[in-house]
Structure formats: C-alpha cells, structure tokens
Structure 1
C-alpha cells in the first residue's frame, strides 16, 4: 500500500520548518545515506506543485514508495526504469486505476525533478541515475493488465493459468496510437470494483477520492 507514512509528516508545519532549515545549510554539510529519502521528499514538497491537492498527495505517496525501492539496495547507482518497475510491482492493485493515470500525466514533471535533484543530493558519494528515459506508458499499461488479473483471480492456482499472451492482449485493449485510453481502462476495471484494504483513515479518504475520478477527469 502507498501508505500515509512520510506524506503525513511533511504536511506538518514543524516538519516543513525542519526541512527548510536543513536545505539552507551549506552543501559542504553532507547528509547520511539514511537521510537521502527524507531529503529528496523535502525538496519535492518545497519545489513541486500539482494541479490539485489530490494530485499532490498522490505524487508524494508515489515518490515515497519509489524512494523506498531506490534506497533499499544502498547503492550509488539508481536505475530509474528498474526502480519504477519495482515500485509499480510493490503498489500493484492496492490502488485504483486512477492512481496510474495520475502518474502518467505527472511523469515528465517528476522524472525531470529526479534527474535534477537526485545527483545533487549532498552525500559523500553522489548518486548516479541510469536509464533516465523509458516508456512510462508501456510500464503502466502492463501493470494495469497485471493488476486486473491479480484482482480478478484470488488464488495461486487461478493466477498460474494466466499466460503472457493474456497480459499482452489486455494491454492492447488499453492502448491506441501509443496512448493509454483511460475510458477503455475504466470499462475493463468496472468488472472488478476496487476494494479498499486499509484501516488508515487518511489513506482511505485519499483512495476514495482517487477512485471517484472519471476517465475524462484524469
């Protein structure tokens, strides 16, 4: 689940003041590896704005999970495509399809932020980014197809019957002229209503708002 976690923290005035103070320190004051994720999220909150509170919250939650995957290997080289794939796999069908629609629309802005900010993080050994350019729409259309089957079939025996061709055919139904057709996605997903599986009140409210978006609104 894209948890409330750090998202809730960066919303508080106290946290924002703390982050701002940290950003104003000379670059010579290196941060530790353990602080990289918080540092980047702080930079994101201070420098980025979406088109709505819902978009802002969605992107901050996604970035938090993305950074969790990126920092888990404790490496100085981050492969953006692999990390993004891992993030989608981690989130999977715990969010409605509208979550992925927001990511597609905001990806250029987010990737530009990562390409600019990650190598500039003041750590002892700068972080390098690999595979900075890739087809985000292809990754997401594939994940949407996988998520549909994950939701449709609950048991391992059922999931074992799914073939690569099944995934490919569903992907094709989502895409036209290299663009994801969200109306098509909505129609397919209408066969498996989204179920919220968290007790966190803030996360529930966020998921309900996301799930209420119509294709023309994403």
Structure 2
C-alpha cells in the first residue's frame, strides 16, 4: 500500500474532503493508491463521529500510519500497531497514548469491519487484533521508556541504570493493571514537548493541542 510517512500533512487531510466514496457495482475495484483515502472517508462517515474532534484527528492520522503498513492478504494487526506505537514514541506527547487507549476498541472494530471490505483486486485482511490488556501493557512500557529517555537526556548514563529506572517507573505508572495518567502527567510536568521542525503547521498545531491536555 502507498506509504505516507510519519503523520500526514494537513493538506492531505483537507484533500479527503474532495474524495468521494462512490457506490461500486459488483466486480468494480478501486486502485491501490486510493486505499488509504477510502478507509479514511469511511472512518469520517462512521466511527469518527463517535469521538471528540481532537480524538477524531488523532485516530485519523494514526489510521493512516497503520494503513500504510498493510499489504494484500493477511496482516497481523497486533504486530503492526505495536511496532507503529513504538516507532512514534519520540514524535508524540504522552497524551497521544492516552487518547489511543481511551478509544482504541471503537477504532479497532472499525478497522476489522471496514478494511477487509475495501473493494481492491487483492483484499487486505486483518488478523490477531490487539487486546485491551496487551495494549495497556504496551503503552505503559513505552511511556516508562519515553520518560526514562527524557530524564537522562544529554546525560552520560549507562544502559543498566536506564533499564533499572525504566523498571521502577513502570511499577509507578501502573495502578491495578491500568496506566495511572495522573502520575504520567506529574512525571512529564518538568518537560515541554516540541514537535519536530520539519512538520507542517497543521500537524504542529494538532500535536500542541494534544500536549496541552490534562
């Protein structure tokens, strides 16, 4: 499938308003290049309406990232989501993970329902959905790692100390099997998130909006 890179430019998202999901006759397929746009329009017409405006934009961008990794035939959704979340950890504020956890079940059901239904010559199939428990554990581990990195930024610290700190933080931010967002917010209070310079203005605005959530 077409590769988008790390988050779509805001101009690409605006172009979706011009993309129409037409009624297809039996046997009529769309081009592979239209796959991501097709999925996003279906998202805008269905599940996005159940989300807040900011969460809707967050998942629209995250779905683009996921869809860029999908190929014809079977795809391991759990593996793709896990790798994508890990890949993004240095590019997004911690609030991104909070939004993903809060509404992932809705979005995963959308992907399971809509992606295999996209009328491509070779259908894209999804298997192995990621469970809520697995996603919670993954996010906690990523946040512990991200926080450790921020704490020791520009400091000469050996890997053993970093690993020990990461393990201690993991115990702190997990409360009865759930991420304690109050503790995450407190840990990140001393740090300011700044989007990468090479991002477009729309993406920077979205990331700044995420970073101001409590």
TM-score tier after normalising by the smaller chain length: 0.7 to 0.9
**Residue 124 of structure 2 corresponds to residue 120 of structure 1:** no
1:134-145 to 2 correspondence within 5 Å? 134=131, 135-145=134-144
Contact 2:19 2:41 in 1 (8 A): no
Structure 1: any 5+ residue segments left out of the alignment? none
Corresponding position of 2:65: 65
Range with greater deviation from structure 2 (160-169 or 111-120): 160-169
Q: Using the alignment, how far apart are the partners of 2:55 and 2:87 within structure 1?
A: 20
Range with greater deviation from structure 2 (79-88 or 166-175): 166-175
Decide which of 80, 85, 91 is 2:82's aligned counterpart. 85
Deviating 4+ runs (over 6 angstroms): none
Distance 1:182 1:2, change over 3 A: farther
Corresponding position of 1:54: 54
Contact 1:37 1:64 in 2 (8 A): yes
Q: CA deviation at 1:109?
A: 0.6
Corresponding position of 2:165: 166
Describe the SS at the equivalent of 1:94: coil
**What TM-score do the two structures reach when normalised by structure 2?**
0.83
Contact 2:40 2:64 in 1 (8 A): yes
Q: Using the alignment, how far apart are the partners of 1:4 and 1:61 within structure 2?
A: 6
Aligned length: 206
Structure 2: any 5+ residue segments left out of the alignment? none
Q: CA deviation at 1:125?
A: 2.8
Describe the SS at the equivalent of 2:19: helix
Distance 1:117 1:167, change over 3 A: same
Contact 2:148 2:165 in 1 (8 A): no
Contact 2:140 2:174 in 1 (8 A): yes
Q: CA deviation at 1:157?
A: 6.3
Q: Using the alignment, how far apart are the partners of 1:46 and 1:203 within structure 2?
A: 22
Distance 1:64 1:171, change over 3 A: same
Corresponding position of 2:27: 28
Q: Using the alignment, how far apart are the partners of 1:171 and 1:56 within structure 2?
A: 29
Distance 1:53 1:166, change over 3 A: same
Corresponding position of 2:211: 211
Q: CA deviation at 1:101?
A: 0.5
Corresponding position of 2:181: 182
**Residue 94 of structure 2 corresponds to residue 100 of structure 1:** no
Aligned CA-pair RMSD: 2.5
Describe the SS at the equivalent of 1:28: coil
Contact 1:27 1:122 in 2 (8 A): no
